[in-house]
Amino acid sequence: MTHSSLPAAPDRPARPRWRRALHLAAAGLFCLCALPAVAQQQPAPFGNTAGTVFDIIRADDPTSFVCLDELGRAERQIWDKRVDGEPIVLAYLFQAQYADGASIEIAINPEFGSPENAREQAELYAPALGRLPSSLRAGIKRFSVHDGRRGFHAGTGGIVVYADTTANRLSYDHLEESLFHEAVHASWDHAHRLAPAWIAAQRSDGMFLTEYGQKRPEREDLAETALFAFAILHHPDRFPPVDTKVTLEAVPARIAYIRELLPPGEPLTRQIGPPQGCAAQQ
C-alpha cells in the first residue's frame, strides 16, 4: 500500500561502476572491500511507538469525555484483521459525547455477548479518547471494537481496536499512546502524510525516528513521529532527557512541522463544535 518517500539517489553513473567492480572481482583482479561505502539510510533509534514504555498520556490526565448516548443495535461494516475482510455485524452502538463538541460513534462487535458487556467496552475507550488533543479527536467519526488480539488500525475517520491487544497495552500504560497514533491516521493523514512540506521535512532530516516508520514512510512515519513530538512539545517532563535529545537530533524538521499542528503553550482542548447529545444537557 505504501511507496518509499526517501530522497532519490544522487545522479551518477553508479550501475556501470558496480558492473565493472563485480567483473574485476570475479577475475580476481579487484577487492570488493575497496569499493567506497554505499550511502545507507541511518538506522532509526526506536523500533516503534507501540513497543515503547513512555507513559506520555496518563490515565489520570483530564478527559473531555462527558457521557454516552446508547443507540441500540444496527448493522455496521467493520474491517476485521482476524478474517482479513470487512464483515457486516449487528453492532452495539453508543455515541460518545465530548465537552469540546466532538461526537464519536462507538461500535462494539456483538461477540461481546450482551448490552452490558458492550457498554463496559465503550466506557473503557471513551474517556481515553477524551485525553487526546481536540485536533486529533475531531476527525474520528467511528471507533470500533473487536475481541481478540490483532494490531490496532485506522483510516480516515475511523479506528478499529481489539480487546486483548488493549489489555496488553494497558499492562504497560500505553492505551492512550496507541490511540494517539491511530488518531493521527484518522484525523491528520489525509491532509498531512503526503503533504509537500512533510515530504520536504523527511528529506531534510535524512533519517527516521522508528523502524516502523522507516519501513512505511508514506503511511506510518507521521503517526510514529507525532507521538514523540507531542511529548517533547507538551509533556517534556514525561519523556526521558536522553530520548528527547535523540529525537530532536534525528527529526528536527518533522518536530517543527508538528509544532505547527500542536503549538506549545496553546490549549490542547479547544471548541470544535457545539455540545451534542447528552453533552448538551450537562
Report pTM: 0.84
Q: Helix crossing, 163-171 with 115-129: angle to 10°?
A: 50
Residue 132 burial by Cβ neighbours in a 10 Å radius (0-12, 13-18, 19+): buried
Inform me whether the pLDDT recorded for 155 exceeds 80: yes
- Kindly report, residue by residue over 205-226, the tens digit of the pLDDT: 999 999 999 999 999 999 999 9
> Rg for the chain (alpha carbons), in Å?
22
Inform me whether the pLDDT recorded for 141 exceeds 70: yes
**What phi, psi does 224 have (nearest 5°)?**
-70, -45
Spatial CB neighbours of 253, under 8 Å, sequence gap ≥ 6: 200, 201, 202, 204, 205
Inform me whether the pLDDT recorded for 76 exceeds 80: yes
pLDDT the model gives residue 280:
66
CA distance from start to end of the chain: 44
pLDDT the model gives residue 279:
53
Confidence of residue 97 (pLDDT cuts 50, 70, 90): very high
Task: Give the mean pLDDT of 46-75.
Answer: 95
530520548: which residue's cell? 243
